[in-house]
Amino acid sequence: MLPASECEHSQTMNRLKAALTSTGGLSYHYMALRYRSGLWRRFHENLNVLLCNWRHFSKEIILIGPSAGYSLSQEFLQTFEAIHIYDPDPLARWLFQRRFPRLPIHWSLNSPFFCPSTHSIQSLWRIRRQHPEAALLFCNVIGQWPLMEKVADSDIQEFVDQLHQVYTQSNWASFHDLFSGPSHWKKWSHIQQRQQVEFHSLEALKQFWKDTKGGPLTDHMTFKKFKSTNNKKHLIWPLTPRQIHIVEWAQG
């Protein structure tokens, strides 16, 4: 266990980061306001097909880092009798509640994950014990981990391996950034019309990126970390007209 003062400090830092950095907070809400109903729409539609087809058999769900729920549909969320949310962004909580006023939401600003990294594995066990009947969904947050703090490739691999162990059945899923970088949206729009894109190797992905004349790629350190190859899909998310994210869906 962390000493109380150290943990409080980490949680305060998490909230500050959530409010101010590019992985969430004000700039993210501004982008959502600008692009949600246009540029982001197809990505959200494709993602929600996967969410609605996810066979988890749970009446409760834990959402990690959903922000204001921009990428989640009412259709998906209303299937749950309890929704436990962990996201340190207070503005996201307010917006989520406004967007989905009738849903049974329980929000915690103290996230058990990535605070600090070394405690994330114990947090998987703890959260499983706290909500034993609930399915677990990481909402585009595992790929943000390397942007939030210094983390080794092996830490992420260990975390994902533990996730496979703690949640042995189909009751977990994650969508997360694999790679992102500057590229012109027009070069991608015809590809995004397809519901999913397959990248079987890093070379294939890099070639694809090169063909679109994209700039330097950010590696979110999640490529090939998840085992369940049958249940993995790749989606294209234009965050802005000049910033493309390749997002992976993985489920148990």
Ligand X SMILES: C[S@@+](CC[C@H](N)C(=O)[O-])C[C@H]1O[C@@H](n2cnc3c(N)ncnc32)[C@H](O)[C@@H]1O
The CB-of-44 to ligand X minimum distance in angstroms stands at 8
100 or 114: CB nearest ligand X: 114
Taking the complex as a whole, how short is the minimal distance between the CB of residue 37 and ligand X, in angstroms? 14
Distance of closest approach, residue 72 Cβ to ligand X, in angstroms:
8
Instruction: Answer whether 225's CB lies under 8 Å from 146's CB.
Output: no
- Name residues whose C-beta falls within 8 Å of residue 152's C-beta, 6 or more positions apart in sequence: none
Positions in the binding site for ligand X (CB under 6 A): 14, 18, 23-24, 28, 64-67, 70-71, 86-89, 92, 111, 113-115, 139-141, 144, 148
Give the shortest CB-148-to-ligand X separation in angstroms. 6
Please state whether beta strands 172-182 and 218-219 pair in parallel, antiparallel, or not at all (unpaired): antiparallel
Tell me, letter by letter, the H, E, C secondary structure of 136-155: EEEECCHHHHHHHCCCCHHH
Q: How far is the CB of 7 from ligand X (least distance, A)?
A: 13
Of 26 and 204, CB closest to ligand X? 26
Instruction: State the nearest-atom distance from the C-beta of 111 to ligand X, in Å.
Output: 3
Q: How many CB atoms lie within 10 A of CB 191?
A: 12
Q: Which is closer to ligand X, CB of 125 or CB of 207? A: 125
Is the Cβ of residue 123 or residue 183 nearer to ligand X in the bound state? 123
Q: How much of the chain is helix, strand and coil, in % rounded to 5? A: 45, 20, 35
Nearer to ligand X by C-beta: 107 or 206? 107
Report residue 67 as tokens: 């922000």
- Name the 3-class secondary structure at 156: helix
Judged by CB, which is closer to ligand X: 97, or 206? 97
The two three-digit tokens of residue 196, written as one number: 């999913």
Compute the distance between CA of residue 222 and CA of residue 226 in angstroms, rounded to an integer. 8
